[in-house]
Amino acid sequence: MEQRNTSTIPNPEPIPAAMTVAGSDSGGGAGIQADLRTFTACGVFGTSAITAVTSQNPREVVRVDELPPEAVRSQIETVFKELNIRAVKTGMLFSAPVIAAAAESLAGRKCPLVVDPVMVSTSGMKLLRDDALALLQEKILPLADWITPNIPEAELLSGLRIDSMKAVVRAAEAIAAKWDTCVVVKGGHADGDPEAADVVCTTERTLKLTTPRLATAPLTAHGTGCTFSAALTAALAKGLDDLHALIEAKAFVLGSLAEARAIGRPGPNMLSGMFPPADPSVYQSKILLGKI
């Protein structure tokens, strides 16, 4: 009897690929897990280089185990050897040796780099060692096409105290000028405002990126920073221009919060977590991008 070949012919239509260089979040809310989930939901093939393994859940980080710098270097270079990576983001880099290895492996790559300068977890655990901050600024930030700090991170990078929208603008412009790059200072930490407003500073202009601030259960927003930078990376990998990439990324985060799911044990303190929206495009109409 003739044996038929039942192998599936791959879809010849290429899909953009992106890479995340970051730590693993065992609780799934942030880090590599959030990045890869976001890449897939945004229609991008996700790859990764893991820098550290954390033992955490949405409430706490109890342990961080750093990977050897050579392991980080090998992951990055092995992926780039065969895959057409269209954009890269970095998240938690943790230590000076890992930063040096990542910078050496990413230097000269002809694709956008989004740097999310992860420094401290929501629960207060340091995710960047004190002696690594200077090397982050010396080796990684000069490579960045986008830097996406939250307000505490923007204070550290700019050296400015942020206590108003005008101060956010000054910090964003200072960071953009210092590293000759585009910057988004994320406003999610500014509790009490009726809207979630980010300040965007490009080489041409400074803008405000705004959405309504949703009422969510405590800790639901765990991983919003990772998700935003990953969605921005995915949009750039798909070839979107800067402004459309920002709107798509912000809409994805808004939709992920609006469509959060229960993930904790049942009870009055049950946790919920962000979940990719069924149709992120429906949230784009809620995004305002305009002058400050």
Predicted local distance difference test score (pLDDT) of residue 216: 86
> Within a domain: residue 225?
yes
Closest CA to 253 of 235, 237, 276, 271: 276
pTM of the predicted structure, to 2 decimals: 0.93
| Rounded average pLDDT over 267-286 | 91
Mean pLDDT on 74-97: 97
Q: CB-hemisphere CA count at 13 Å for 85?
A: 25
**Number of domains into which the chain is organized:** 1
In a domain, 262, yes or no: yes
pLDDT category of residue 213 using cuts at 50, 70 and 90: confident
Structural domain for 109, as ranges: 17-291
With respect to residue 51, please indicate whether it lies within any of the assigned structural domains: yes
- Contact in structure between 49 and 76 (CB atoms under 8 Å): yes
pLDDT for residue 129: 84
For residues 25-51, give the mean pLDDT.
Answer: 97
**Averaged pLDDT for residues 94-103:** 96
pLDDT, average across residues 53-62: 91
pLDDT of residue 2: 52
Backbone angles phi, psi at 242, to 5 degrees: -55, -50
Q: How many residues does the chain have?
A: 292
Q: How far apart are CA 199 and CA 172, in angstroms?
A: 7
Average pLDDT over residues 205-220: 89
Q: Specify if 245 maps to a domain.
A: yes
Within a domain: residue 104? yes
Average pLDDT over residues 94-120: 95
Please tell me the least confidently modeled range out of 6-15, 248-257, 280-289. Answer: 6-15
Instruction: Kindly state whether residue 11 falls inside one of the protein's structural domains.
Output: no
Mean pLDDT over residues 107-127, rounded?
A: 86
pLDDT value at 4 more than 90? no
- CA 128/CA 159 separation, integer angstroms: 17
Residue 12, domain member (yes or no): no
Contact yes or no for 197/209 (Cβ under 8 A): yes
Listed in sequence order, the residues at least 6 apart from 226 whose beta carbon sits closer than 8 Å to its beta carbon are 22, 30, 31, 34, 35, 38, 91, 116, 118
Q: Residue 122 pLDDT more than 70?
A: no
> 226: pLDDT confidence band, cut at 50, 70 and 90?
very high
Mean pLDDT of 244-272: 92
CATH number of the domain within which 78 lies = 3.40.1190.20
Work out the pLDDT band at 121, boundaries 50, 70, 90.
confident
Q: Is residue 9 part of a domain?
A: no
Per-chain mean pLDDT for the chain: 91
pLDDT in tens, 139-188: 999 999 999 999 999 999 999 999 999 999 999 999 999 999 999 999 86
Q: Is the pLDDT confidence value at 9 over 60?
A: yes
Confidence band for 124, pLDDT divided at 50, 70 and 90:
low
How far is residue 290 CA from its own chain's centroid? 22
Q: What is the pLDDT of residue 217?
A: 85
pLDDT on residue 264: 87
Q: Which pLDDT tens digit goes with each residue over 185-205?
A: 998 655 556 788 999 998 889
Contact between 85 and 111 (Cβ < 8 Å): yes
